[in-house]
Structure 1
Amino acid sequence: MTCCREMEGKRAHDPTGSTVWVSGPIIVGAGPSGLAVAACLKAKGIPSLVIERSHCIASLWQLKSYDRLRLHLPKSFCELPLMPFPAEFPTYPTKEQFVSHLQSYAANFKIQPVFGEAVVNAEYDIRGFWRVRTEGMGKRREYVSRWVVAATGENAEEVVPDIAGMTTEFKGTAVHTSKYRSGEVYNGKKVLVVGCGNSGMEVCLDLCNNGARPGIVVRDAVHILPREMLGQSTFGLSMWLLKWLPVQIVDRLLLFFARMMLGNTARLGLRRPKLGPLELKGLSGKTPVLDVGTLAKIKSGDIKVFPAVTRFTAEGAEFVDGRSEDFDALILATGYRSNVPSWLKEKDLFSEKDGLPRRPFPNGWKGEERALCSWFYKERLARCFH
């Protein structure tokens, strides 16, 4: 077997075409994180190979996001390294602008991912190499390298809850938000949105703006914050305050201003968690909702708030408070999970539930005493609060 060191600076194929030697790191995922890693490596003269299961970069943004989506954070907090956003972009770029920038970014750094290949297995062998096996377009292939970067993000696979009657009784249409594009097709319909994160809240607003009559399921406590406070972004203000104050104090300030600006959300069926928004994010990963107008629609009654669903019926849903309501359609804003445990064979280090490292940053997985490996699981470059 030829040693990778002898292949420095190039990729080599075996005679059958099934094995590819890679002299630099293998990066799994061509989203913002994967592109950023590839660009930073290239800037230091280090080659890499990006593998992407879809046919395009940033597939979550291009193929699984709704039309009205914008960055939830100001562009200054979402820039990829070495190449800022164009100056003419608005503070909160649209989906189309963000995707266009990522395409320009890849072209600028000459990043050419291998598309249409899904990683199904990545293992570290006794000789000190990572063997990354892929499937796609009817072919199987194995890539060999000393380094692997997991850049598939938190949002690789849709989470679809198993709620009684949802697939067996409910006669209306039901889709995950990954397949939702616009509220136009729901004009005049009663729609139940399950999930009250940023996506669920914004989908409800989009439904309202397109003549639908939405309801939203709020199963757990949730922090809702205005997108901007004191003339600047809430996220930016939070980051600035954290330089000087403990997280608990910053949370108190955020909640004080949120109460002044938004009122008591508990009266609307949106009770707040006991922990503050930043402390909760750090401990559990649960992000606060940055309001872009949905709360006003809830206050006006255009959006109804419901507790957890106990079961779906043929015509609608029954809720834990005893209420029942008819609906024409169901939209699952129930989020995503990482798929890393399904292909990276390090089950002791990653949670099977959500695919994230069992030990939080900065003490997460770094390959132990093996190859130099990195774990890029938070696509915070573009979706920090999403």
Structure 2
Amino acid sequence: MQTQSKLVEKYLNTMQSDQIMIIGPVIIGAGPSGLAVAACLKQRGIPSLIIEKESCIASLWKHKTYNRLHLHLPKKFCELPYIPFPPEYPIYPTKQQFINYLDAYAKHFSIEPLLGQEVQQAKFDTNTRCWCVRTNEYQFVSPWLIVASGENAEPVIPVIDGISKFTGRILHASTYKNGVAFKGSKVLVVGCGNSGMEISLDLCNNGAQASIVVRDKLHILPKQVIGKSTFALSMSLLKWFPVTVVDRFLLFCSRLVIGDTNRIGIGRPEIGPLQLKNSVGKTPVLDVGACAKIKSGEIKVVRGVRKFTDKGAEFLDGTVEEFESVILATGYKSNVKSWLRDPNFFSQNDANSEKSLPKSWKGKNRVYSVGFTRQGLLGAAMDAHKVADDIKRDWNSEAWNLHVESKPIFTSQSINHY
């Protein structure tokens, strides 16, 4: 393997005028995953540069989430490395509290992403053995590339027959804030995951007539069991029992707390919630009150949409109903495959497929990923430590302490003066 000094010398001899050499990893994405790995690298004495296409950190949380959102898991499972949540925060912090935590986290570690930089291509150069990352303004070159843009980079807009004919209002959940503007109107929510259920509840609480499309079977679990988080209880039990046993226990508790969901038109999958999560990545819904509204008839469960009409929708069971608005709670997808030129790390299949995820947190040629394990913020924190440890070993073995006259760029401030 060539030494770092030889690599840099080889690179500088061929460097183009619009390229900026980064002596440290380039991180794509300034969400929780990007912040976490930048902090872990900094704790190990390694500089990095975060590139973010939006105008702020944590843009998904700040601009594309509804107002009533709380963390669905207890705060101890959502902390980023080294910094706990403030002790005065509740067990399930609000959206704004989490945003405040992320802002304080970035400030504590002096993390200053370069904003407004949308990645167009990231490609490994076999000659210089560096990653070339081209954005709308610059081209960055670094020995390491860390993909931290997340599984939720772009909203999924489903193709449903006749949807273009619908004359009412259509919006994705990413633009929904609260149900105030929908008071007194009939709203169809397409998608029955955590967001779809919570938006339906919010609509109902604000006086809208909400219907939710439940096309497939799904697991709904109580948010808490015997005063303890269902997730925390699951993690504790998995230390002692196999997944199948824990699944049976969760389903027993769910039946006691929520009741038989088949009676409200929501069937359960044949395999348990944890098994389903592990096998295909489908997260169970944690009930925050929607089930009670469904039981009372305040939220209506409807079958899958066959097609839209100009005033409403026709469902798979043949019924037709009129609606004034449609909210697509149909989730998000990664956009990595559109710019990362490495088909062996992220599959080039559909972004919603489990096969589109990286095979692990590390690929060939010093490419890494953080936050793609379908384990939420806890998984992102674990990935961040693994990636930083691996790069630290690489950093030490290659003797990266260099004095390069070309003035390598480390922060957004220095790049703006470049």
The TM-score with structure 1 as length reference comes to 0.91
Matches within 5 A, 1:259-298: 259-298=255-294
Q: Percent of pairs identical after alignment?
A: 53
Matches within 5 A, 1:1-386: 5=5, 18-126=18-126, 127-135=128-136, 140-167=137-164, 169-351=165-347, 352-354=349-351, 358=355, 363-364=359-360, 366-368=362-364, 370-371=365-366, 373-377=368-372, 378=374, 380-381=376-377
Q: Check 1:85–1:265 CA distance in 2 against 1; reply closer, same or farther (3 A cut).
A: same
Do the aligned partners of 1:5 and 1:23 also contact (CA within 8 Å) in 2?
no
Displacement of 1:272 after TM fit? 0.5
Do the aligned partners of 2:7 and 2:129 also contact (CA within 8 Å) in 1?
no
CA RMSD after TM alignment: 2.2
Displacement of 1:364 after TM fit? 2.3
Displacement of 1:151 after TM fit? 0.5
Deviates more, 1:62-71 or 1:375-384: 375-384
Displacement of 1:18 after TM fit? 2.3
Instruction: Give the partner amino acid of 2:351.
Output: D
Q: Check 1:7–1:182 CA distance in 2 against 1; reply closer, same or farther (3 A cut).
A: farther
Instruction: Give the partner amino acid of 1:117.
Output: Q
Displacement of 1:338 after TM fit? 0.7
1:77-128 Cα shifts (integer Å, max 9, x gaps): 1001110000000111111110011000000000000000111111111121
Aligned residue pairs: how many?
Answer: 371
Counterpart CA distance in 2 for 1:366 and 1:316 is: 47
Displacement of 1:367 after TM fit? 2.0
**Structure 1: where are the runs of 5+ without partners?**
none
Displacement of 1:5 after TM fit? 4.1
1:173-223 Cα shifts (integer Å, max 9, x gaps): 000000000100000000000000000000000001111000000011110
Counterpart CA distance in 1 for 2:216 and 2:154 is: 22
Residue 386 (structure 2) aligns with: none
Q: Check 1:268–1:383 CA distance in 2 against 1; reply closer, same or farther (3 A cut).
A: farther
- 3-state DSSP class of the match of 2:122? strand
Q: Check 1:66–1:30 CA distance in 2 against 1; reply closer, same or farther (3 A cut).
A: same
Counterpart CA distance in 1 for 2:79 and 2:89 is: 12
Displacement of 1:347 after TM fit? 2.4
- 3-state DSSP class of the match of 2:121? strand
Do the aligned partners of 2:371 and 2:377 also contact (CA within 8 Å) in 1?
no
Counterpart CA distance in 1 for 2:40 and 2:177 is: 33
Counterpart CA distance in 1 for 2:255 and 2:352 is: 35
Do the aligned partners of 1:147 and 1:372 also contact (CA within 8 Å) in 2?
yes
Displacement of 1:231 after TM fit? 1.4
- 3-state DSSP class of the match of 1:163? coil
The TM-score with structure 2 as length reference comes to 0.85
- 3-state DSSP class of the match of 1:131? strand
Do the aligned partners of 1:358 and 1:364 also contact (CA within 8 Å) in 2?
no
Counterpart CA distance in 1 for 2:343 and 2:172 is: 28
Counterpart CA distance in 2 for 1:319 and 1:199 is: 21
